[in-house]
Amino acid sequence: MIKLFKNLTFKDYIYMAISVVFIVVQVWLNFKIPEYTGKIINIGSNPASELKDMVEPALVMLASTLGSVLAAVITGYLVAKVAASYSSLTRRLVYGKILTFSPNELNNFSTPSLITRTTNDITQTQFFVSFGFQLIVQAPIMAVWGIIKLSKSGTTWSVATIIAVLILVTIIGTIILLTLPKFRQMQKQTDEVNRVAREGLTGARIVRAYNAEKYQEDKFHTENFKLSKIVLFTRRLLSIMGPAMNIIMNGLVLTIYVIAAYQIRDNGMNVDFEFGDITTVVQYSMQIIMSFVMMTMILFIYPRASVSARRINEVLNTENSIKDGNLLDFNQQIETIEFKNVSFKYPNAEEHVLSDINIKINKGETVAFIGSTGSGKSTLINLIPRFYDVTEGEILINNINVNEFNLNTLYNNIAYVPQKAFLFKGTIKSNVAFGETKQEITENDIKEAVDIAQGSEFVLNLENKFDSEVSQSATNLSGGQKQRLAIARAIARKPEVIIFDDSFSALDFKTDQLLRSALKEKTQGVTKLIVAQRIGTILEADKIVVLDNGKIVGIGTHNELLKTSKIYYEIASSQLSEEEINNAQTKTNL
């Protein structure tokens, strides 16, 4: 928890220091009120006194009350500013850290867990900063000040108050010991509820298509019921506190009056206190009880905030497995990309996904990767922009290990189009011009990129053209439209390398062919790496790499591989007619 306070600014610490001063003032004024309450009662109970004698203590009491309220308002305002600043900065740090995570780190935390840590956990710690800080400062001061004041009023009253405090602390301490482990379980179970809810919402179409509503509801109900049981257990225990406090506080008031009554009975009117002093003692005792209640409230707030703080720190302290390099440029354009004896296996996996990969890609080439499902195509190209680092061997760009380059340098020069097109809420223009680039993306760049991606026709038919709204997850666009805009986003960056990870799968054959023709014509000199399942997409590639079980089993053009690679021939024969295959082989022989 203390580590998170490092996120506060110097201005926040100044506000907290000022808040401490106002809390002290508030406590001091709060103890003035019982003192003058007693004086007013003493004056009122004295037959010789007059109404005007009450004016001065009444005015002082009123001023103390107003001053205490004002101090509390100022303290609340300053602490609220600190808490808001803390939560804003911490949320930004956590979110920024998550954005730097590689797939390896993201797999260590589930998406629902990261969402909970960015929202609910930060809210828990923010509450501790705002409310808990005031309790931590105010409670000890109230307790010490109250005990000093009460001890001056008589030993008997002090003993009664101490006994009441001990009983209260015992009850609350027992409740804390029972609820503390449940607070930890509550946060973990909240993650599970979020996971199931997110899963159901994201896969709503699949759920309906497979008539699995009942199954999904039961799964959510199971996790929700577990969370409800934990919440009910803690709430039931916490509900004991209110009645216990009322019994102890009212019992203490009764005890004080009984002690006073016995002293008056035994000594008559020769007691060493007046009637107003009894009221003062009662109010002092209530202040002391309340101070210990505040301390125990801290013990309730802190465990949950501590669990949340630990979860937040887990994210902030996670070390990225992908280390940033120092080279800020390539000294020239990307002339070559070379895989040298590259092998790769996922973290904690036993078997390699890729083994002994050797291939050299030259500037401007269109290189395609094909193979059966699970052959390692996507994994291989994901190593170039360093979504993962190789396990063995090295990847060289211009004969320099890719690990030596600054990540921003890589991302500014290598564009990536994922298998599943993802667009952000905004406009078509904002999505195509998304991210930081080497140079500003102009409107002409956007229009040209969309045109190359064969998206102009549907974009220009929209009411607001390029300013048309894109909903969250682009639910107002078809799969093909999303894929074309994702491709346009990559082209608009004017990169030196474009990676297409099976990015043509949602396009019809005609659009696929037109897009590839436009790419060949308009992006000459750009290296294009294409992962594909359809032979038609890669027919004209300069080089086709055939993968099987993580190994390269063939490299060549389409026509060459039909003769030299059995696996490629099998893939081709499953998609092309015998006539098309024979024509290709004839061209090779010629």
Asked if residue 152 has pLDDT above 80, the reply is no
- What integer pLDDT is reported at residue 73 of this predicted model? 92
Q: How many CB atoms lie within 10 A of CB 23?
A: 23
Distance CA 121, CA 314 (A): 12
Name the 3-class secondary structure at 437. Answer: coil
Is 0.75 topped by the overall pTM?
Answer: no
Cα distance between the two ends of the chain = 75
DSSP state of 441: P
For residue 579, the model assigns a pLDDT of 66
Find where tokens 């009764």 sit.
254
- Kindly report which listed range (164-168, 265-269, 290-294) carries the lowest average pLDDT score: 265-269
pLDDT at 588 over 50: no
Closest-CA residue to 45 (of 263, 254, 279): 279
What are the helix (H) ranges across 203-274? 204-209, 213-238, 241-267
* CA 570/CA 562 separation, integer angstroms: 9
Q: Cα separation of 416 and 419, whole Å?
A: 10
Per DSSP, 320 falls in state P
The mean pLDDT value for 84-107 works out to: 84
The CA distance from 124 to 303, in Å, is 10
Query: What letter does residue 448 receive in the DSSP assignment?
Result: H
Distance CA 259, CA 74 (A): 40
Per-residue pLDDT band for 74 (boundaries 50, 70, 90) equals: very high
Q: Please, are residues 485 and 450 in contact by the beta-carbon 8 Å criterion? A: yes
- pLDDT mean across residues, the chain: 81
Compute and round to an integer the Cα radius of gyration of the chain. 36
pLDDT in tens, 269-299: 565 556 666 777 777 778 887 887 777 777 7
Sequence length of the chain is 590
Query: CB-based contacts of 65: which residues, under 8 Å, 6+ apart?
Result: 29, 33
| Digit-coded pLDDT (tens) for 20-61 | 999 999 888 888 887 777 777 767 666 766 677 777 878 888
Q: Per-residue pLDDT for 207 more than 80?
A: no
Q: Are 64 and 88 in contact (CB under 8 A)?
A: no
CB contact at 8 A, 45 and 275: yes
3 state DSSP class of 241: helix
| CB within 8 Å of 529: residues ≥ 6 apart | 361, 367, 368, 369, 381, 384, 497, 498, 499, 500
Instruction: Set out the domains of the chain in order of their start, with CATH numbers.
Output: 2-316 (1.20.1560.10), 336-556 (3.40.50.300), 557-590 (no CATH)
CA distance 453 to 482: 11
Percent of the chain with pLDDT over 90: 1
pLDDT band with cut points at 50, 70 and 90 for residue 590: very low
- From residue 146, alpha-carbon distances to 69, 155, 246 in Å are 19, 13, 19
Residue pair 322/386 in contact (Cβ under 8 Å)? The answer is yes
- Coil vs helix vs strand at 68: helix
Q: How confident is residue 421, by pLDDT bands cut at 50, 70 and 90?
A: confident
The residue written with tokens 């290990």 in the block is 401
Could you give the CA distance from residue 24 to residue 518 in angstroms, rounded to a whole number? 74
Of residues 268 and 439, more confidently modeled: 439
- d(CA 470, CA 432) in angstroms, rounded, equals 11
Q: Is the pLDDT of residue 510 over 70?
A: yes
Cβ atoms < 10 Å from Cβ of 352:
17
Collapse the DSSP code of 245 into the 3-class scheme (helix H, G, I; strand E, B; otherwise coil) and give the result.
helix
Rounded Cα distance between 4 and 59, Å, is 45
Among 367, 321, 315, 408, which Cα is nearest to 499's?
Answer: 367
Inter-helix orientation angle 133-151/155-202, to 10°? 170
